Copies of this chain bind each other. A is one copy, B any other.
Amino acid sequence: MSDLIREIGERGLIERLRSRVGEPGEGVVVGIGDDAAVIDEGGADYLLLTDDAFIDQIHFDLSTWTPTQVGIKAMAATLSDIAAMGGRAKACLVSLLLPPSFEVGHLDGLYDGLMTTAGRFGVTIVGGNIVRAPRLGLCLTATGSVDKTRLCPRSGATVGEILAVTGDLGRSEAGRLVVARSLAVDEATAHSARQKHFEPVPRLEEAALLVGAVKVGAMIDISDGLASEVHHIARESKVGARLDVGALPILEGTRRVARAAGVDPVSLALGGGEDFELLLTLPPEMLGTAGRALEPSGTTLTAIGEVTSQDEGVRLIGEDGVARPLDVAGWDHLRSDS
């Protein structure tokens, strides 16, 4: 019997395709496996390239999302990959997969959303195309650039650095739960969580401030959940990591939503995903400088653990002070039924 996609999962697939594609060609600094590809064209900056796809009823649902929200979030998720490399975003392409029965008016909302996020960061939509498809989908490509000395690939972590994260964790998943389960929480909390889930803002400003102020080792954006992203950095950098559960920045509102939903707030932070915060490594003595550098953005930076040697693996120090292996626990969207 031939293997089916659902049986080998996303990671297995990516490894399979990565080996099939072979060695990157001339000028390719980073190929498959990072947030964005990195290409050296000879100037002072690297070219960054990334794409992402979003399908109705899988990544969003037109029955609960406005077309504008779909556009805002799809563009945010795509530009977030440029931020994760320490880059500035520049231009993007939009491929639309449209069912023939789709209402043109909804398309205006979709584009308003795309332009809301893109315009905020001076990103121009320079092209794309439109094809028929059974369900609404968007394939977005973003380009950007990064000063060659400031690139922060997933492979850049070194033992002794600390792990830090921008903003707070688990709020996007809290927003999803508030809507999906019609949870009874105060409106301020519900609003903040919904906004994080439906209208996230990519951390481009924060990325620029960080790489301008300190030597960032590795950086990645949190799309599949903190645990999954820490594992990515550990694997690509050939290091281990020790996270402190007590240090995770989880807002009180997120904890209230978790209680209302009957779930552990830590599980939202570790596995919820789609927070689009930046997880990075940096020398311990630079944490204060980095935090101050972020002040103009209004975004906090929190130390949540440290980079250890590879043989320690990825571990989480629980509230009892005991370090235990941390499951990937990322949302594997090819296997998941949710």
Residues of A within 8 A of B (CB): 2-8, 10, 13-14, 16-17, 20-22, 24-25, 27-28, 30-34, 36-37, 39, 41-43, 47, 49-55, 58-59, 90-91, 93, 95, 97-105, 107-108, 111-112, 115, 122-135, 137, 139, 141, 143, 145, 333-334
Contacts and interface: CB of A to CB of B under 8 A. Distances in A.
Contacts of A104: 2-5, 7-8, 13, 16
A49 B93 contact: yes
Given A2-B105, A100-B5, A135-B134, A51 B10 contact: no
Contacts of A132: 55, 58, 333-334
Given A37-B91, A37-B127, A101 B5 contact: yes
A52 B115 contact: no
Nearest to A138: B139
A133 B97 CA distance: 11
Contact of A32 (B5, B22, B99, B128): B128
Contacts of A54: 131
Integer count of this chain's copies in the complex: 2
Contacts of A16: 104, 107-108
Nearest to A105: B2
Contacts of A145: 41
A111 B39 contact: no
Most chain-B CB neighbours within 10 Å: which of A17, A20, A37, A127? A127
B131 A28 contact: no
Contacts of A50: 93, 127
A299 B2 CA distance: 42
Contacts of A3: 103-105
A24 B58 contact: no
Given A53-B131, A108-B20, A32 B334 contact: no
A124 B24 CA distance: 6
Contacts of A42: 43
A17 B134 contact: no
A22 to B, nearest CB: 8
A231 B29 CA distance: 41
Contacts of A41: 41, 43, 47, 145
Contacts of A125: 21, 31-32
Contacts of A108: 16, 20
A37 B126 contact: yes
A31 B133 contact: no
Nearest to A43: B43
Contact of A95 (B32, B52, B334): B52
Given A100-B4, A104-B4, A49 B135 contact: no
A131 B10 CA distance: 9
Nearest to A114: B21
Contacts of A105: 2-3
A276 B62 CA distance: 36
Most chain-B CB neighbours within 10 Å: which of A5, A6, A43? A5
Most chain-B CB neighbours within 10 Å: which of A28, A34, A50, A124? A124
